[in-house]
């Protein structure tokens, strides 16, 4: 089966600009996750969707980050405006059911550099 | 609150030597523990989970609730084991996965 797809793979922007990332989960997976991984740290969950509803967005900086999952399939994560500290790898993952205990399948990530 | 600590950022051992990657956790309930691995130029992927109690690629991990640890072990390291390893914890119910900072394991020939 095809894995989780993400685009773009790399993005360089200047601070205060906007950026959007796209994720296509494994077909049939109801749960989709966005993680932020800062250099030298483990992935940190930003938002979790179950179908097109939000399950957990407690660590999403809502003043600048937004995410949507229309029709319960693809998802986009947006940052507006970007700050220097947003430089990180943004990982998308999906699982067949909800909850961290389910095996999560990760995409290749989008590496963002904010100058 | 859920917390995972991997005390070693870097670990280097020789091929054929035993390897142990340490993981300690903090959680008041009954946790589910996992090891995820990322090989060079590959995606992050599940290596093993404590609930299945299986050995994957020769690796095992035992949940020690008394010491709140979930160390990953392999008796004889191989060069292809070189990778970044992350310990992760999920609380009861549909709770999020919390990752440790990761340990970069290098197996020297």
pLDDT tens digit sequence for B59-93: 999 889 999 999 999 999 999 999 999 999 988 76
Residue B51 reports pLDDT greater than 90: no
Interface test with B, best of A30, A44, A50, A101 (most B CBs within 10 A): A101
- The neighbouring-strand residues paired with B74 are B19
Write out pLDDT tens, residues B15-32: 999 999 999 999 988 888
Question: Is the predicted pLDDT of residue A98 greater than 70, yes or no?
Answer: no
High-pLDDT (> 70) share of chain B, %: 97
- Write out the two tokens for B109: 């020939």
Measured CA to CA, the distance from residue B23 to residue B18 in angstroms comes to 16
For residues B76 and B18, the answer to whether their CB atoms sit within 8 Å is yes
Contacts with B102 from chain A: Cβ below 8 Å: 41-42
The 10 Å Cβ neighbour count of residue A34 is 25
Substitution target in A42, A51, A95 with the highest count of B β-carbons within 10 Å is A42
């Amino acid at each position: 089966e095809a894995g989780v797809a993400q685009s773009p793979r790399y993005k360089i922007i200047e601070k205060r600009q906007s950026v959007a990332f796209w994720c296509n989960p494994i077909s049939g997976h109801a749960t989709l996750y966005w993680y932020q991984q800062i250099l030298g740290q483990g992935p940190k969950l930003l938002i979790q969707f179950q179908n097109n509803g939000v399950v957990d967005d407690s660590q999403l900086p809502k003043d600048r980050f937004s995410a949507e999952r229309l029709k319960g399939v693809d998802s986009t994560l947006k940052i507006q405006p970007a700050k220097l500290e947003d430089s990180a790898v943004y990982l998308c993952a999906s699982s067949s059911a909800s909850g961290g205990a389910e095996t999560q399948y990760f995409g290749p990530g989008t590496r963002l550099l904010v100058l | 609150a859920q917390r995972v600590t991997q005390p070693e950022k870097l670990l280097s051992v020789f091929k054929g030597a035993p390897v142990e990657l340490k993981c300690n956790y903090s959680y008041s309930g009954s946790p589910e523990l996992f090891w995820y691995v990322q090989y060079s130029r590959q995606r992050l992927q599940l290596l093993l989970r404590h609930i299945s109690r299986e050995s994957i690629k020769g690796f095992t991990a035992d949940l020690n609730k008394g010491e709140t640890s979930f160390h990953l072990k392999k008796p004889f390291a191989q060069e292809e084991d070189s990778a970044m390893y992350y310990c992760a914890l999920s609380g009861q119910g549909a709770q999020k996965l919390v990752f440790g900072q990761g340990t970069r394991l290098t197996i020297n020939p």
